[in-house]
A and B are shown apart, each in its own frame.
Chain A
Amino acid sequence: MGLLNRLDNPYETGGIILGTLEDILNWGRSKSDWYLHFGLACCAIEFMSMNASHFDFMRFGIIPRATPRQADFIMITGTVTLKMAERIKVLWEQMAEPKYCISVGSCANSGGPYWQYGYHVLKGVDRIIPVHVYVPGCPPRPEAMEEGMMKLQKMIDQQAIFRKRQRLAEEEKLFELQNKG
C-alpha cells in the first residue's frame, strides 16, 4: 500500500514516484483485469466459490464480463469438448489485444481423465489457443486458481508494451513451434 498512500497525499510526503511508463501502465493493467469466464465442468463450480465472499476473487481488481469484447483474459474452466472448442476459438478471436488465457484444471490442460478414451474431448485447450497460465488440479482448489491469477498479474507486470508487433510475431512463432509435434 506504500505507493497508494503516497498518491493520496502527494504534497506532504514529497509525492514523487519514479518509474518507467511501462511500469505504471503495467501496474494499472495487472490490477484491473476483466475476465470472460468460460465454465465447462466441475472446475466452474470451484470457480463459483472463488467468486463468492470466502475467497473473494474481486479483491484482485478483476470484474467478470459477459462479453469477449470487454475482457482482458479468458478463464477456461473444465473439459473442452470438440464441439465447444470451436466456440472457444471464436470467443478468443473476438477478444481485444492484449489478451491472456488461464487454463484451469486437468481437462483444460491436457484432457485429464479423458486423455485415452475421450473421443469427444480436445486434449488440452492449448491446441487451439495460446495459454499463459496453467492451473493443475481436478478440480483445483480456489486457492490454486488465485495463485494462477497472481502468476498472470506477475506476467503482465513484467510485460513489454512497446514494440508490440515484434513481440506478438515472436509469440506466434513460439505457439506454432509448440504445436508442431
Chain B
Amino acid sequence: MTYEEIHKILKEKFGDSVGELVNNPPSDPYVEVSAEKLFDICLELRDNPELDFDYLMCLSGVDFPENLQVVYHLYSMNKKHKFVLKVTVPKDNPKVPSIERIWRSADWHEREAYDLFGIIFEGHHNLIRIFLPYDWEGHPLRKDYKEPETYHGMRVPY
C-alpha cells in the first residue's frame, strides 16, 4: 500500500484527528495526529488486516522551541509498507498516551524519550529513566538544558 492509501483509510475512520499527509521528498511522508486519538489510531494500524503494521521501527523525541514531538516509524513485515506518525504536545504539559501495550518495542523507546526529553507517556507500566542514573535532574537533550556543576561530588565541566 502507498502512503496515500493508508492515509485515506485513517482519515475515513478518525476524521479530524488525523492531519494531512505532508510530503517533503528527502524524508518519508508523515501525518500529524492528535495525542488524544493516538492509541486508537495505532490499534487500527496494527489490527486492520489491510494495514497490518506489526513492527514499530523507531520512536523518537524532538525538541522544538514551543513544543515537544514524538515520531513513530512503522513497518509491516507482511505487506512491506511503511508509515510515519507525528504527535506534537506543548512543553508545559508534555503528555502522550503510551503505545507500549500495542508494540512491546515501545517500552524502552518511551523510557528513553522520557529520560532525555521529559515526555510523559501516560499508561506506561514502568516509566523510569533508562540511561541516566535515577537521581539525575533534568532532561539533557532539551535545548534549554544546563549541565550540572557537580554530580555526587565529581566535577562535570571540563
A contacts, CB < 8 Å to B: 82-83, 85-86, 110-111, 115-116, 119-120, 122-123, 127-128
Contact = CB atoms under 8 A, between A and B. Distances in A.
Contact of A82 (B145, B152, B157): B152
Contacts of B140: 119-120
Nearest to A122: B154
Contacts of B155: 123, 127
A115 B156 contact: no
Given A119-B145, A120-B132, A120-B140, A82 B151 contact: yes
Contacts of B151: 82
B15 interface: no
A134 to B, nearest CB: 17
A127 B150 CA distance: 12
Contacts of B131: 120
B136 to A, nearest CB: 8
B28 interface: no
B152 A86 contact: yes
List 3 tightest A-B contacts by C-beta distance, closest first: A119-B147, A115-B158, A123-B158
B90 interface: no
18 contacts: A82-B133, A82-B151, A82-B152, A82-B156, A83-B132, A85-B154, A110-B158, A115-B158, A119-B140, A119-B156, A120-B132, A120-B140, A122-B154, A122-B156, A123-B155, A123-B156, A123-B158, A128-B154
Given A82-B133, A83-B132, A120-B132, A111 B152 contact: no
Interface residues of B, number: 14
Contacts of B145: 119
Contacts of B157: 123
- Greatest chain B CB density within 10 A among A83, A86, A110, A119 is at A119
Given A82-B154, A128-B154, 20 more contacts: A82-B133, A82-B152, A82-B156, A83-B132, A83-B133, A85-B154, A86-B152, A110-B158, A111-B158, A115-B158, A116-B158, A119-B140, A119-B147, A119-B148, A120-B132, A120-B140, A123-B156, A123-B158, A127-B154, A127-B155
A82 B156 CA distance: 8
Interface of B: 131-133, 140, 145, 147-148, 151-152, 154-158
Contacts of A128: 154
Nearest to B150: A82
Contacts of A120: 131-132, 140
Nearest to B156: A119
Contacts of B132: 83, 120
- Greatest chain B CB density within 10 A among A82, A85, A86, A111 is at A82
A82 B154 CA distance: 8
A85 B154 CA distance: 9
A116 B151 CA distance: 16
Contacts of A116: 158
Contacts of B133: 82-83
A110 B157 CA distance: 11
Contacts of B154: 82, 85, 122, 127-128
